[in-house]
Amino acid sequence: MCGFAGFVRPAGFEPESARALGLRMGESIRQRGPDDFGVWCDELAGVVLSHRRLSIVDTSAAGHQPMVSVSGRYVIAYNGEIYNHLALRKALPGRDLPWRGHSDTETLLAGFEGWGIEQTIRRSVGMFAFAVWDRERRSLVLGRDRLGEKPLYFGVQDDGGSPVLLFGSQLNALAAHPAFAATVDREALCLLLRHGYVPSPRSIYRGLHKLPPGHLLEWPIGEKPDALSEPPSSRAYWSIRETVTQGLASRFAGSDDQALAELDALLRDAVAQQMVADVPLGAFLSGGIDSSAIVALMQAQSTQPVKTFTIGFAEEGYDEAVHAKRVARHLGTDHTELYVSAEQALAIIPRLPDIYDEPFADSSQIPTFLVSQLARQHVTVALSGDAGDELFGGYSRYAQAARIWGTLGRMPRSFRVAAGAALRALPVAGWDLLGAPLRRALPVHMRNVGDKAHKLAELFRRRDRLSFYQGLVSDWPAPDRVVSGAHEPPYLTTLAAPGSPAVGFIESMMMVDAMSYLPEDILAKVDRAAMGVSLETRVPLLDHRVVEFAWRLPLHMKCRQGAGKWILKRLLDGYVPRALVERPKSGFGVPLAAWLRGPLRDWAESLLDETRLRREGYFNPAPVRRKWQEHLAGRRNWQNPLWNVLMFQAWLEQGRGHRG
């Protein structure tokens, strides 16, 4: 795991100052790679590549980057791990190379020379983002892994009248270049308010972009001074949409037991490959289905106790440490847990704009950083159980949405609108009173009965299953009414877009989440949190062979009797008693609603001050202040929409926004 940055200035540069600038850009992401650094310049082409290294495989100088291929044609700055790179070495056609070391970076370069860039990437199993300068074609190639585990930003800026292409692992690397002068993209801000993240290909800044997962972008530079005037389009070499289409066309036709055996074999191989490292390795363990399955497969293939890590909170409903301890004891892992006080968690909040680089508003970012910080004290690599919900139908909202829309969709819309009005007629407090007898039996995230009833009332007005699901997962249902002078752009807002496979509602929701929520929220959250403490994370469930197999499985092998992850639970039954992991899903959360009314109140009030909001000019103060007052009064729980605004405000306060 590493970080890289660089720039291309076709008009040329002074080599010494360009090298110093490359070092500065790399230094801005030092936490991604504290072990080594390097800069490579091509004065004639106007290219600079900068790299920061976290040494994981081949910790010797043979893994130093930027790295030049044997022929000298390709120069790469790369972040990630290619888990099957030794197998790729053996498969290279007619190659008997004098290998300098055993790094996967060297393998990639050899593959580029033997197969070409795209074919090498198609053969690779791993996570990655890279920038490659092709000296023969005089072009820059940017690439990102299939599912979006590793980030990559790019964009053209004006450098004293000459265009310069900036690129790097994080936005702050681009911001270290003096040409950086981007302004806030208000359309991106609308998306942040709705989803809690800014999705690719946008970034929070106009003119700067994220390369989408599974894409390559080749930027011909040549010798043309205007080479950067027309940005090329990226192309997909792999996509979830195509994977779903192919899965539908070749559904798994075997029995439950045959499917289970194949999944077990695929996951065992993925876990085994991802356990290869030249540094200490462990795993996050929450005690839920996904992380327990990964740890069980690790321990089954290890001769030593696997190091596992979890954190807990004393607050009721937010402590998963007790469950993790039981699973760890059963599997015999070397387990470390840390109970975190509210004060320790709250101390992370001022650091979030630095850790996450652009506004990001999933509040589980706090415990994710804390567990990464804990793990880094013992290991350099940690495996996680992310992606089980998107692949195997684990989110409870899938079954709930399908069940509710299955009823609503048969009703005339006029009747639904009237029923929604009836639900809203009873105030939130009234619904909470009616739901009081059930409160203790419900998971924490479902105890706000009144809020749930009023959100359901709003969903009654939706026209189709697409807009119903969009409303279900939206924090602000109409963000362009909140962001001043903005119109919300379309973003995966149709489950039946041209080219979409004809799948049922549950699989449509899973597909959209795998294309959006998974890479833009879950994976971004883990990457920034872990990289904030120089920890590499790996996600075995995102081995693309596992993903492709999961989409071949019929839905009944994932969801049965209203519950998801059926086959994953069956797999785990072979390692851990069901009683240790079977419980309502609570998520990796924090008591944010209470914190905003308590220890975070003054901080939030300062950021949400009406005069301040008007002066800054990004938000219409009225809806923001209304939600804030209702939350403080305890009439509603608006923690998520408020957190989205607060994370932008905290980011803006650090001077990262330029008025636009």
- Quick one: tokens of 518? 């998974």
Phi, psi of 395 (to 5 degrees): -70, 135
Which amino acid makes up residue 313?
Answer: F
Q: Are 522 and 380 in contact (CB under 8 A)?
A: no
SS3 536: strand
- Quick one: tokens of 64? 């130093």
Q: Are 586 and 443 in contact (CB under 8 A)?
A: yes
Distance, CA of 292 to CA of 433 (rounded, Å): 37
SS3 92: coil
Query: Exposed/middle/buried for 427, CB within 10 Å: 0-12, 13-18, 19+?
Result: middle
* Among the listed residues 421, 402, 419, 429, the one whose alpha carbon sits nearest the alpha carbon of residue 558: 402
- Quick one: tokens of 102? 């055993």
Quote the longest CA-to-CA distance of the chain: 76
SS3 261: helix
Q: Which residue has the tokens 């959360």?
A: 589
Packing angle of the helix pair 566-573, 289-300 (nearest 10 deg): 40
Helix, strand, coil shares, percent, the chain, to 5: 45, 15, 40
Q: Which helix (H) or strand (E) holds 368?
A: helix 365-376
Q: Is 41 a catalytic residue?
A: no
Please give the radius of gyration of the chain, using alpha carbons only, rounded to the nearest integer. 25
Catalytic residues: 2
